[in-house]
Amino acid sequence: MAKLDLVLEELVTANRILAREEVVDSFGHVSVRHPDRPDRFLLSRARAPDCIEVEDIMEFTLEGESIDARDRKPYLERFIHGACYEARPDVQAVVHNHSPSVIPFGVTDQKLKPLLHMCASIGHDVPTWDSQTKFGDTTLLVENMEMGRDLAASLGRGRTALMRGHGAVVVAPNLRHAVFISVYLEVAAKLQMQAMPMGNVKYLTNGEVEKIINRTGPYTIDRAWENWCRRAGRPITKSA
């Protein structure tokens, strides 16, 4: 299979997995940087992730302009993706979701922090981006590049940021890794809400997070990917 075809198949699979694992529902999206054109990215037309097929995948410039839209309508919030690729050359995949357990951490002063080793990939400190700070009253949707760039800046060098009253953004060096972090971001939030009423929580230290991140590679991620492909009813392709 040609490189681009492999990437398109993996992107369909990523959509189905995120839906199956309840990180996205009818809303939320995942993209990948174009394998041959770093100044472009691939993202489905506006469609629920569990319904997405290869022919739904569109190509965009980093400014969010579609290359060959035909009759396909893009996601309004495609600017999240373009702005992350623009700000971070190391980023090869982006997920935007509204996964329910992360929402309380975006609207309170309770910081989301990993307490389980599998969740270290979310980073030691998960920042929260508040659209209100710079843009005042909006629909909270990231509907232009200015908002996208402001959100991307809030990531710093990290891999996750919460969006107040809205959801989260996850960036990663490849598609499988972005899916992995997104699934465990939801797990982290759920566990933290369960642990907090029980007493003082001992979170992972910065040093622990760094050590775990440094050894999280295909050995770990591909095992999860195989399992999630099975659960989502998708074939396991050779890693794109």
Quickly count: other Cβ atoms within 10 Å of residue 76's Cβ. Answer: 14
What three-state secondary structure class fits 126? coil
Instruction: Give the HSE-up count for residue 168: Cα atoms under 13 Å, Cβ half-sphere.
Output: 32
Quickly count: other Cβ atoms within 10 Å of residue 115's Cβ. Answer: 17
What three-state secondary structure class fits 186? helix
| Cβ(167)–Cβ(103) below 8 Å | yes
Q: Are strands 128-129 and 160-163 parallel, antiparallel or unpaired?
A: parallel
Which one of the listed residues 9, 21, 77, 186 is annotated catalytic? Answer: 77
Report which DSSP code applies to 2: -
| Beta-bridge partner residues of 180 | none
Check if 77 is active-site.
Answer: yes
Position 31, amino acid? S
| Beta-bridge partner residues of 58 | 43
Q: How far apart are CA 167 and CA 156, in angstroms?
A: 18
Q: How far apart are CA 219 and CA 4, in angstroms?
A: 24
Active site residues: 77
